[in-house]
Structure 1
Amino acid sequence: MMNPISTPGAFTELDKFMFEAWGYIIIPNVLTADEVKDCLEASVRLHEAAGTRGWAQVGKGFETEPALERLIDHPAVLPKVRALYGDRFILQSAWCTKQPAFGGNGSWHQDGSGAYDFSKLGYPIPLIQLRASFLLTDQSVPRTGNMELIPGSHRSQAPLPQSVRKSGDDVPIGHVICAEAGSVLLFHNAVWHRTYAHDGDYDRYTMHYIYSPPWVRCSDRFDNDKAFLERTTPVRRYLMGQFERPDAPFGAGYPVELESE
């Protein structure tokens, strides 16, 4: 099976071509075995504290779990995010997802906002949510809770048929991502995707970090935790949206004589 394999760090010209063509890239060997273990244990604690049952996701775990905080600006991933967005972007949300043992397929969807369909913004659907998914359990073979994506579907002018979405049927061009724990899947919000079946007798965990333009509202929190902001690094505070905007207050660029009118 073909795979858009990248390497940690810089966003290369080949990365750019693969991302534009397929809508995603896979970065193997981002986390060490010890880092995977620490992040997996942190993920389990988050879900136990939240009392989740079945398929579930818990947000803003970076506020209480140092192992997950360190992934916010991981040097294997952040340069690629910066290459796609420029210098101004935020961590819009961070979701720790759990697919339970013996879980079935999820439904086909594109990422976005339930309040506003990103497809209304134009064609091709713009990059509003760039997702970096850190695999915390092994997914090197199919049916281990993998992500399944449709390559190039972020460029399709035709939506995936409603009948397929409603039924959850397989599609002949679906690509089941097979990668070891510690790998990262970086993908565009407009790529059609779903959670693939999980036949294992253990829960599958993935930590998702979603990066967006600075004007997008956060979805895993209403406000940033003040204690977290005080103790974290300057770069991570920036990614929380705690920076001065050159256009604030809005209208500040107008001549002084017009401001009093």
Structure 2
Amino acid sequence: MLELSKVSKLFNPGTSDEKIALVNIDLKLNPGDFITVIGSNGAGKSTLMNIISGVMTPDAGEVKIDGQPIQHLSEHTRSRWVGRVFQDPMAGTAPRMTIEENLAMAFSRGKRRGLGFGVTVGKRSFFHQQLQRLGIGLENRLRAKVGFLSGGERQALSLLMATFTKPQILLLDEHTAALDPARAELITRLTEEIVREMKLTTLMVTHNMEQAIRLGNRLIMMDKGRIILDVNEERKQDLTIAELLGEFEKISGGKLADDRVVLG
């Protein structure tokens, strides 16, 4: 479903600020894969997500979705195949618009848009049904401005919007990191349910090692722009945080530089 071949990215080439972000990344996601991605700051996780979503263009290599090269397509064009939820609950939604207006925009993603009403009676009924799945009462607040929602409520809405049209690829970019533990657990549970029910091919970046091990059927670890570890489902079932840290130290020759990864 998603394939990256020899993908590289270099920032500020030829200057004193030159930084290698990605180095010859090879990664293949089969349909229905749920892969968690872990690594310290600067490992290349966010750059990887930006390359896939179209925010950035790779310096070299190829990105394919369902066998079709997409590395030169715009972020807007890719949005018909790629859904993304960001770390910041304020991102991914329009705060001055209502819940139903935000959902209408998400519903129209990748489709031709005419001059008709964005929110019809039929759509409002559909939105109500979809919001009920979240179990947090947003179905009764369709005309509330999104800017007045809590961080957890906005993130739940962002997750629903990103998966509305059943994207071929779902990108979750530390989407629980900015939430308190209770809200983070709610969004994690909703994520598991939606990914499982819709059989979405998913790539999730997280700093939480326990979460990275518990969720999904594969785990990859990144360091200095490279994928240094790829753990399959069978091995992942019995993996511990201590073992994962040990693998990192053995492969990289050093300890994780980011305490948030260890403490997660």
Q: Give the TM-score of the pair, scaled to structure 2.
A: 0.23
Higher share in helix: 2
Q: Give the TM-score of the pair, scaled to structure 1.
A: 0.23
Higher share in strand: 2
